[in-house]
Amino acid sequence: MEQTFIMIKPDGVQRGLVGEIIGRFEKKGFSLKGLKFVTVEQAFAEKHYADLSSKPFFNGLVEYIISGPVVAMVWEGKNVVTTGRKIIGATNPAESAPGTIRGDFAIDIGRNVIHGSDAVESAKKEIALWFPEGVANWSSSLHPWIYE
């Protein structure tokens, strides 16, 4: 089954949105496979965002991500990468639809509350980076009530 990496960024933690965000993924029917509350170092944040290293906002982005603890998670389910991005909303909260996490809870692109992997391949890379120890191996007893 497909997995994605979801991270509640330091602003989401500071603003008390952890329960709300986890609830949205849970209520959708996705399964939580990994969860940890960590503050990452600069080199780690630079690695996570390596693809964006040439962008003018890169340094500010790294400073933002290391500015406080984040909630790192692995969620599993059918099409969870694409659907997870829909639940999160567009990168710029000014363009995120109401009902999405960024559309409901964010205003500025540089304080957009949450990260989600953008493809199955990047999800694999991000899960390996954030959860080198591996994730939980369990399956929900609700499975037949969520999937036909």
Cβ atoms of 4 and 74 within 8 Å: the answer is: yes
Tokens of 105: 């809870």
DSSP 33: E
Q: Is 112 in the site for ligand IDP (CB under 6 A)?
A: yes
Cα–Cα dist 41/76, whole Å = 27
Of 78, 81, 142, the residue nearest 117 (C-alpha): 81
Contact string (CB under 6 A) for ligand IDP, positions 42-81, x = contact: ----------x----x---x--------------------
What is the distance between the alpha carbons of residues 80 and 120, in angstroms, rounded to a whole number?
9
Q: Quick one: which of 22, 32, 35, 109 contacts ligand IDP (CB under 6 A)?
A: 109
Q: Is 110 in the site for ligand IDP (CB under 6 A)?
A: yes
Of the candidate residues 91, 97, 121, 139, the single one contacting ligand IDP (CB under 6 A): 91
Does residue number 94 form part of the binding site for ligand IDP (CB under 6 A)?
Answer: no
Residue 115 a catalytic site member: yes
Catalytic residues: 115
